[in-house]
Amino acid sequence: MKKETKTTPAKNVDEYLKELPADVKSMLQKVRKAIKGAAPKAEEVISYGIPTYKYKGPLLHFAAFKDHCSFIVISRAVTEIFKDEFSAYKSSGRTIHFFPNNPLPAELIKKIVKVRVRENEEREGMKEILKAGKKNDKKSRI
């Protein structure tokens, strides 16, 4: 699916998508739109050479390969939550493989992204609670 002629890594998602065949590009633009719609505050970057979305930590990635596309949800818990919806796709660990003739539905992508946003917000909240607890411990020792 991905053209093999590219010699330098993409600097941004637009560059990444520009190199793809039309059907794959169109499908991944829809994935991108669904992600941005569900997480408008997420930062869009290239990490590990693929489109990555970050909000209070990494949210997810997507990628195009020679014979499939991947949606990488990062979280094992999300993989478990959506295992029934993923059953129509080949998956490996936290990665779902899909194709232009069997794309991931935008509504499923949005649900996944919203769960990932919530996970990252909850994790950040726990870090703040722990940090506050450590500060209080230091004060009580004085």
> How far, CA to CA in Å, does 69 sit from each of 62, 63, 120?
7, 6, 25
> How far, CA to CA in Å, does 51 sit from each of 6, 43, 45, 80?
16, 10, 6, 23
Q: Domain ranges for the chain, please list them.
A: 13-141
Per-residue pLDDT of 85-141, as tens digits, reads 999 999 989 999 999 999 999 999 999 999 999 999 998 888 777 777 666 655 555
Per-residue pLDDT of 32-56, as tens digits, reads 999 999 999 999 999 999 999 999 9
| Cβ-based neighbours of 138, under 8 Å, separated by 6 or more | none
| Cβ-based neighbours of 86, under 8 Å, separated by 6 or more | 79, 96
DSSP 54-68: ESSSEEEEEEE-SS-
Residue 39, classed as helix, strand or coil, is coil
Domain 13-141 architecture: Alpha-Beta Complex (3.90)
pLDDT on residue 3: 47
Give the whole-angstrom CA distance, residue 25 versus residue 21: 6
